Amino acid sequence: MVLWSYGLMNPRRAKHRYHELRMDTKIFVFVKKVVKRGKFKTGQDEYVEKQILPKKTQDIPIGRIPVMVKSVLCNSTEKGECAFDQGGYFVIKGAEKKSWWTIPVHHCTGKTKFFLMETGLEYVPMLTTLLHSLKASSVFNKVNYLVRWKSSEIKITRRYDPVMAVENLHKLKQSKPSKYTFEHLLDQGILELIGIEEEEDYHRMGNQTASERAEELHSLRIGPVLPTGRVLYQSQKHCQQAIGFSSTNPNIRCDTLSQQLFYPQKPLFKTMASECLQKDVLFNVQNAIVAVNVHLGFNQEDSIVMNKASLERGMFRSEQIRSYKADVDSKDSEKSKKMDEVVQFGKTHRKIGRVDSLDDDGFPFVGANMHSGDIVIGRCTESGTDHSVKLKHTERAIVQKVVLSSNDDGKNYAAVSLRQVRSPCLGDKFSSMHGQKGVLGYIEEQENFAFTNQGIVPDIVINPHAFPSRQTPGQLWEAALSKGIACPMQKKKGKSDAYSKLIRHATPFSTPSVDDITDQLHRVGFSRWRNERVYNGRTGEMMRSLIFMGPNFYQRLIHMSEDKVKFRNTGPVHPLTRQPVADMKRFGEIKFGEMERDCLIAHGASANLHERLFTLSDSSQMHICKNCNSVANVIERGASSERRIRGPYCRLCESPDYVVMVNVPYGAKLLYQELFSMGICLNFETNLC
């Protein structure tokens, strides 16, 4: 193999440097003269075109242009040529073959050859020749390196998938086990790297007969057990939303918001993907005993019921750490003294906020209990205007640490981290590793749960109707496999240890089947289909139905009811509609839309509907004339008796005698005013007033 260096060269430089590879030629232009005569000269209805032929051919030379003879020193793959067909020309088929008035030229300097293609232009090289032979001779490397001309950056932009060549699988029997390396299999032609463009043209196979072009290394690459939507839910949403340890140094970080699980655990099973991705380093889940059963109607559909004793022991307990940052400018002591006078550290200041937890420097001390409205970082400007950072609405926490540092620009800033311990409560969201998500519907006492003859009480009870709707049969397989791993069979005389023969891998489409998992459960003393006889916790009687029970890998998500609760008595309203605002940080209200209105109408809750949409929203009053059914105005107007009338007055009837006051939402009043401005007058019936 030959190593080539890469460079750019314009045509003039190539003319002087590679003069032996070029030739000059003239460029001629053929001139044709056509005369168009009108009707006034020919007397005909149409125009006549007459071509005037000169005495000799009108090939006018306009100059000379160098033409490059085909050579390996010129490589112009950006014009659509094959990258393996070395050589190029300055002019081909009348079109100049140049890019930015330069030509890529290769020089022979070593024993390795790189094929470099220009990116950023709309030219795609046609790699149609020598592809299979180059792969067989190991000319291609595993990665393509692209050198951009302008930025000169080396980036890995290609991905190759390894597949097994079916025609060379017989070479595996001839190779020794010590030579089963990736490079050795590539050299022998057993493994073949295919690019993105070749994937559509290759015929792949799983575990069928070797009659296709290529065979996958593992069926996990093309066929998971769960539906694709469930896999995407877990990998994109639930895995990112699960609470755990996102880093190995959470104690020294000052993230804006982070969640940490107190007692993360490792799973009982393993998968090939988790081992390759090293997911066993930081886990964000816990092993819970899950029973598939109904429990007093509190776990309908996707909701779950949890054991109160398990939660009190610390199951799924986490902490939320929120950091507040502010710029710090301490140039002189006079400013800090002025700040002390304004903020009054160590005393209660009602207009600004509670500052009982602040020290003399304006920062809270570690371990202070902060509540809603307390000042986290006290600061003010030179003029004395307060710019303190307050705790957000409905938040409470404990000060974990106070950090003073500087950024890259050299500006000083302060970061105060607040910690809040959170135990699972009603409305919190949980999910299994298979995308079986649901909220906590009820927390039950341990004594009221059903228990097995071994005294095992489940931690979570889930409804059996949740699996068909979410399409998660893998969770049942996981429970059966984990149950067999957790209770291995004891070693017997004359037999090998069953613990070493346990099925621990849960990779889809692997060697263990459903029958192997059921046989493993039967060997360790459980039912073959994972069903168990349980006893009623309330009465102590044996239940007639068998209950499926086993350990599952459950994760707690960041969606908690404490962060989503909204409540208020009175607060800010919108200046136009006079309805409550929608933001919780602004003391807003929960939106009551059309679907909620329809539900109250269906239940016949008219009093609740009136209270929600009128009394607690935008109650207002209007004056209506009973005589003409129009809206009256509250004005001062002179009557015919030249006395001034004060109060509501109807301009159409010119009398205040028939005016009554009605209660309407302010939104209806605003609609009337908008229509009245466009010349549309509405009439209101007031027979019941």
671 phi/psi in degrees, rounded to 5: -65, -40
Name the region of 170 (left: φ>0; alpha: ψ -120 to 50; beta: rest): alpha
Point out the residues that are catalytic: 302
CB atoms within 10 A of CB 613: 17
**CB-based contact 358:348 (threshold 8 Å):** no
Residue 92 three-state SS: strand
**CB-based contact 430:437 (threshold 8 Å):** yes
Give the whole-angstrom CA distance, residue 376 versus residue 390: 5
Q: Look-up: residue for tokens 């005294």?
A: 455
**CB-based contact 459:594 (threshold 8 Å):** no
Tokens of 416: 């105060």
In SS3 terms, 513-539 reads as CHHHHHHHHHHCCCCCCCEECEECCCC
- Where are the extended beta strands (E) located within 179-317? 191-194, 204-205, 214-216, 257-261, 286-292, 304-307
Q: List 108's β-bridge partners, or say none.
A: 4
Radius of gyration of the chain (CA): 40
Nearest to 483 by CA among 517, 457, 460: 517
Nearest to 343 by CA among 354, 332, 333, 327: 354
**CB-based contact 68:22 (threshold 8 Å):** yes
Give the whole-angstrom CA distance, residue 626 versus residue 659: 6
The C-alpha angle with vertex 631 and arms to 630 and 635, in degrees rounded to 5, equals 135
Residues contacting residue 601 through CB under 8 Å, at least 6 positions apart: 609
Give the whole-angstrom CA distance, residue 235 versus residue 248: 21
Chain-centroid distance, C-alpha 482 = 30
Instruction: Using alpha carbons, list the distances in angstroms from residue 106 to 2, 75, 116, 243, 575.
Output: 11, 7, 10, 54, 72
Residues contacting residue 119 through CB under 8 Å, at least 6 positions apart: 146, 148, 157
**CB-based contact 488:200 (threshold 8 Å):** no
**CB-based contact 316:440 (threshold 8 Å):** no
Residue 597 three-state SS: helix
**CB-based contact 383:400 (threshold 8 Å):** no
Residues contacting residue 13 through CB under 8 Å, at least 6 positions apart: none
Question: In sequence order, what DSSP letters do the residues of 482-510 get, joined into one string?
Answer: HHHHHSPPPP-TTS--GGGG---B--TTS
654 burial via Cβ count (<10 Å: 0-12, 13-18, 19+): exposed
